[in-house]
A and B are shown apart, each in its own frame.
Chain A
């Protein structure tokens, strides 16, 4: 699904990723670890196609509408309601049976009650859950998660656990995390960027 050879990404004069080789097969669950600044977010950005490599190559066998990306930022409009946000992305991603799918996700992530409220009044945990809904909305074949547990309260964390448990084996997942133990049992492969540097 993802093949990288000699992958390199530079920001200005700083090289964040250098000479990385990567092979992620279909339905693999890759857990990426490493200290801050080691390039976890950069790697995910490269996989998503948001960043272009400054050296080496990366090939992702998925189209834009098959990739779900949970970034460092939630990527939701603060002045729109939860429903409006998901409706916008639902249209852009051409999600079939949009309303039903949105409703189902909002319920699953306990946001149904707050669906008509603007994101600006959400708690951090709610925002993160909405971001998860956004990433999962179009049932992507490739899921890229950048520290997905950030901001989630224990119940939110449990929701995410069960969601990933359900998706594991059915989708390809690459998750960058500070809590490798939590995802440890689900992982089929690990990458430690501190050592790869």
Chain B
């Protein structure tokens, strides 16, 4: 199917660009570890492990923001999005490919963050990993679309956090709930619902964000 062929070609391009420039991923890795260290100093000594669990999600969301801000950087600087939009491929393929690469970076950052968290604060269990995976899908889906919006505006780096954070609140609730509550299943289900709704919405509306 040419649709997935397009997605693959575009995703390959994004990964290749990151491997060559190597600026986004190292920054995300360093940022998430630094944030966790800051949390140690920010948590008074009688805070529970649960509080740390909550803060982990803050770290993930802000690290994701860092990655998302860079997501359309190349396209933005050189007006390359025009080149992609002109092509006969479905515009949602651009979203899917970019979202997939954002997700890849996020997973790599978490592959470092979760062990660091286990080392500094509290052990990590399968539920947490599942929650992180589900949350990543939602973050990548919505974040990619919003990043494209921000890229078209004047305020760019300032605008993306403002657009993203209100939409990230349900993800944080789902994630923290899955981490600390007694019945994590409800929260995992909620994350799946969020992913479904917003992925479909983002996929369908990306076309309208990048064209006139």
- A-side residues, CB < 8 A to B, are 48-52, 63-65, 67, 69, 71, 73-80, 84, 88-89, 91-94, 118, 134
Contacts and interface: CB of A to CB of B under 8 A. Distances in A.
B89 interface: yes
Contact of A94 (B20, B79, B85, B88): B88
Contacts of A69: 86
Nearest to A119: B78
B13 A77 contact: yes
Contact of B5 (A77, A91, A93, A134): A91
Interface in B1-51: 2, 5-6, 9-10, 13, 16-17, 20-21
Nearest to B80: A75
B83 interface: yes
A77 B9 contact: no
Contact of B78 (A67, A78, A84): A78
Interface string B132-173: 000000000000000000000000000000000000000000
B88 A64 contact: yes
Q: Is the interface of B mostly helix, strand, loop or mixed?
A: helix
Contacts of A49: 86
Q: Is the interface of A mostly helix, strand, loop or mixed?
A: loop
A77 B86 contact: no
B28 to A, nearest CB: 18
Interface in B87-119: 87-89
Contact of B79 (A63, A75, A80, A134): A75
Contact of A73 (B5, B10, B78, B85): B78
Given A79-B20, A79-B21, A50 B13 contact: no
Given A65-B88, A80-B13, A92 B82 contact: no
Contacts of B17: 77, 79-80
Contacts of B21: 79
A42 B23 CA distance: 34
B88 A89 contact: no
B182 interface: no
A75 B2 contact: no
A94 B5 CA distance: 10
Given A51-B212, A77-B13, A92 B80 contact: no
Given A88-B9, A93-B87, A77 B82 contact: no
A89 B78 contact: no
B84 interface: yes
Q: Which 6 A-B pairs have the closest CB atoms?
A: A75-B83, A52-B212, A65-B88, A92-B87, A64-B88, A91-B9
A92 B6 contact: yes
B13 to A, nearest CB: 5
B130 interface: no
A73 B88 CA distance: 19
21 contacts: A49-B86, A50-B86, A64-B88, A69-B86, A71-B83, A73-B79, A73-B82, A75-B79, A75-B83, A76-B83, A77-B78, A78-B74, A79-B74, A80-B16, A80-B17, A84-B13, A84-B16, A88-B9, A92-B10, A92-B88, A93-B87
